[in-house]
Amino acid sequence: MPRLDPQAVTAKPWLPRRVLVTRSARDWGHGRAILDRASRLGAEIIELPGDRLSLPAPEDPRRAYADAKATLAVVVAPPSKRRLQPIAPSADWRVDLAEGCPAHCSYCYLAGSLKGPPITRVYANLDEILNGLPAYIGQGTITSRQAGRMHEGTTFEASCYTDPLALEPLTGSLSATITWFGQWQANAQLRFTSKFADVEPLIGIDHAERTRMRASVNPPMFARFEGGTSPVAARLSALRRMAIAGYPVGLTIAPIIAAEGWEAAYAALIEDAAAALNDVPALDLTVELITHRFTAGSKAVLDSWYPGSALDMSGALRTTKRTKFGTEKQVYDAATMRMLRRFFEHQIADRLPAARILYWT
Ligand code: SF4
């Protein structure tokens, strides 16, 4: 397997400097288990007297960012957060086990969707979240619209507002959710995508093929935009381990960046993915292709978080696209999109013939 080292170094598990826990979160066994783990690993535990996260934020925005990124909050997901939202084209429904992520990607999509300082919040009432899912069975629109996905049943995406694998050593939420889906006698699929590689806790789970893990990948030349994540080679090795353990798997190639040298870089990435996966027996492999985009709001947040980033958000090669919610985003212009799409469809058909492309966006 060229360029792919199964022992590739993974990012060290994230250890927050401090863990805030609300009063209600302490009532849940899952919340207390998270605190126990964090405390044993040496994090400072701060018990809040109520359920509000009130933090004195430093005035210096860099300091405020660093403090927030070093903070984990254990909270209870209120009913409004447990009411699921449709999340096309990835899945029928978005299910959140957490909000926020400890990594530092200079294109992070969370910058446009989460408000306030980027504290990572994990939910203590996991049982309540999972017990709400059966009401959504058969209610999805994606799986019934996209050819080739009907057999997946109703799909639930756990990576919209977080990277659940990044938090797994502290929370155990992802393992518990995979186990729950494995036991659930319903035509349903849990989905998550990750830029992390420590899949060890997931390997022995009786998942009943009801969870699809995708590795979120980009060529190593873009690794400088993905601070605090696992190396791409380690993510591909992790995906291979998951596939051998019988999980359906996938690649989320995202965000696709049309910077100088992109063709050779993405061709090598797809070659590496093929080397990692093509000999896996009974491989069930999908690919999701997501081009880089940003809004004026997310650009402003990202510029403040990563002022020195070399990621191009200048407007070159871009066009404005109006979303169905009436907002505007900057996407690659039609000619660039056509060129990228042709390239990826050709490369994937050639190098990963077993793969099904779920969508291009
Ligand atoms: Fe954002 Fe994903 Fe990077 Fe985390 S890993 S910072 S969620 S893009």
The string of pLDDT tens digits covering residues 332-352 is: 999 999 999 999 999 999 999
Residue 148 has pLDDT above 80, yes or no: no
User: What is the reported pLDDT for 10?
Assistant: 54
User: What is the reported pLDDT for 5?
Assistant: 43
- Give the closest residue to 73 by CA, choosing from 19, 124, 13: 19
Cα of 101 from ligand 1 centre, angstroms: 6
User: What is the reported pLDDT for 42?
Assistant: 94
Task: Give the mean pLDDT of the chain.
Answer: 93
Burial class (CB in 10 A: 0-12, 13-18, 19+), 322: exposed
CB of 97 closer than 8 Å to CB of 129: yes
Question: Which of 108, 119, 217 to probe ligand 1 with, by most ligand atoms within 8 A of CB?
Answer: 108
Top-level class of domain 18-360: alpha beta
The arithmetic mean of pLDDT across residues 58-74, rounded, is: 90
Residue 327 has pLDDT above 70, yes or no: yes
User: What is the reported pLDDT for 11?
Assistant: 63
- Give the closest residue to 145 by CA, choosing from 135, 136, 155: 155
- Compute CA distances 337 → 104, 219, 258, 272, 361, whole Å: 26, 18, 9, 23, 9
Residue 2 has pLDDT above 80, yes or no: no
Partners of 361 in the β-ladder: none
Instruction: Determine the distance from the C-alpha atom of residue 135 to the mean position of all C-alpha atoms in its chain, rounded to a whole number.
Output: 24
**Per-residue DSSP letter, 162:** B
Q: Please tell me the least confidently modeled range out of 12-26, 133-147, 181-195, 211-225.
A: 133-147
Pocket of ligand 1 (CB under 6 A): 101, 103, 105, 108, 110, 163, 195, 229
**What is the chain's Cα-based Rg?**
20
CB of 124 closer than 8 Å to CB of 25: yes
Cα of 336 from ligand 1 centre, angstroms: 25
Q: Whose CA is nearest to atom 3 of ligand 1?
A: 105
